């Protein structure tokens, strides 16, 4: 009788050992599937963060003829460009605007109309001869330097070029609300 119960015990133990092994295997194999499956899943999910999904031209965009420009009289010109939004390519549409100013030395400067503070549209105030952002009253002079107001930096200048009497601007949006000018 003694012997019998001992045997039973051993049997029991070995069975428990087997079950414990099965448990470990089950958990291990399940995690294996989980990991194998999550790799592509996660890659797909995070993809847009690693990609440029909305693309406007980063090249020079023609904004128009420079004839008829007067020194220190800002002109607002629309930037037209085609835009790429993930799979869709939109035909040329207005994507923004710039203030074009002919300097005293006859060169041209282009300022983004987007206020570096929080992104409102900057206007030219003819009477006072200043740029003004109406949202929180930032003022800039004709060179784009801050006169007063909450804007953390001067108006953003954009790269320009003149080819055959036409002005080109490299249109870019900059990060808002910080002192440095960094393209987004």
Partner 1 sequence: MKWLEDRTGLKDLVKKFLDEPVEGGAKWSYVFGSALVIVFIMQIVSGVILSTGYSASATDAWGSVYYIQERTMSGWFVRGMHNVGSSAMMVLAILHITQTVIFGAYKKPRELNWISGVFMLFIILGFGLTGYLLPWDQKGFWATQVATSIMGLIPGIGDFVKGVVQGGNDYGNLTLTRFYSFHVFFLPAGLMTFMAIHLHLFRRHGVTPHWKPDESELKRKTQPFWPDQIFKDVVAAVIIFAIMSAAVWYRHGAELQSPADPSSQYMARPEWYFLFLFQLLKYFEADMEVVGAIILPTIAAVLMLAIPFLDRGESRAPAKRLPFIGGFGAALAGIVCLTLLSMVSDSRDERLLAQKEESEVMAERAIELAALGIPPSGGAAVFTNDPLYVGEQVFRQHCITCHGYQGGGGDSAPDLTAYNSRSWLKGFFRNPNAVKYYGKTQFNEMPESLMGEEDLSYLIDFLLAQSETETPVDPILREIGEAILVQEGCYNCHTYNGRGGDFAPTLDGFASDEWLRGMIEDAGQERYFGKYNTMPSFKETIGKEDMDKLVLFLQSLRSEPSLALPE
Q: Which residues bind partner 1 (CB under 8 A)?
A: 19, 22-23, 25-26, 29-30, 32-33, 36-37, 39-41, 43-45, 47, 50-51, 84, 86-91
* DSSP track, the chain: -HHHHHHHHHHHHHHHHHHHHHHHHHHHHHHHHHHHHHHHHHHHHHGGGGS--EEE--SEEEEEE-TT--BT--EEEEEEEEEEETTEEEEEEEEEEEEEEE-TTS-EEEEESB-TTT-PBPEEETTTTEEEETTTTEEE-TTS-EEESS-SSPPPEE-EEEETTEEEEE---B-SSSSS--B-
Q: Minimum distance from CB of 137 to ligand FES (Å)?
A: 6
152 touches ligand FES (CB under 6 A): no
Residue 94 or 182: the one with the smaller Cβ distance to partner 1 is 94
109 binding partner (options partner 1, ligand FES, none; Cβ < 5 to 8 Å by kind) = none
Nearer of residues 26 and 148 to partner 1, judged by Cβ: 26
Q: For ligand FES, which is the closer residue by CB, 83 or 143?
A: 143
Under the binding rule (CB under 6 A), the answer on residue 138 touching ligand FES is yes
Cα gap 12→3, rounded to integer Å: 14
Candidates 123, 150, 172, 174; binder of ligand FES (CB under 6 A) is 150
Task: Report the nearest approach of partner 1 to the CB of residue 93 (Å).
Answer: 10
Q: Is 133 in the site for ligand FES (CB under 6 A)?
A: yes
Residues binding ligand FES (CB under 6 A): 115, 117-120, 133, 135-136, 138, 149-151
């Amino acid at each position: 009788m003694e012997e019998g119960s001992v045997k039973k015990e051993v049997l029991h133990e070995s069975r428990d050992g087997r079950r414990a092994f099965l448990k470990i295997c089950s958990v291990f194999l399940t995690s294996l599937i989980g990991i194998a499956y999550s790799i592509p899943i996660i890659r797909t999910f995070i993809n847009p963060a690693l990609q440029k999904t909305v693309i406007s031209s980063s090249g020079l965009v023609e904004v128009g003829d420079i004839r008829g420009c007067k020194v220190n009289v800002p002109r607002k010109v629309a930037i037209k460009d085609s835009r790429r939004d993930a799979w869709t390519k939109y035909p040329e549409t207005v994507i923004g605007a710039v203030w074009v100013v002919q300097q005293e030395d006859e060169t041209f400067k282009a300022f983004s109309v987007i206020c570096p503070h929080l992104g409102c549209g900057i206007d030219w105030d003819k009477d006072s001869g200043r740029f003004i952002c109406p949202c929180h009253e930032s003022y800039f002079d004709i060179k784009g330097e801050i006169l007063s107001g909450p804007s953390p930096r001067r108006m953003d200048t954009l790269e320009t070029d003149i080819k055959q009497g036409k002005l080109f601007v490299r249109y870019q949006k900059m990060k808002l609300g910080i002192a440095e000018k960094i393209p987004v």
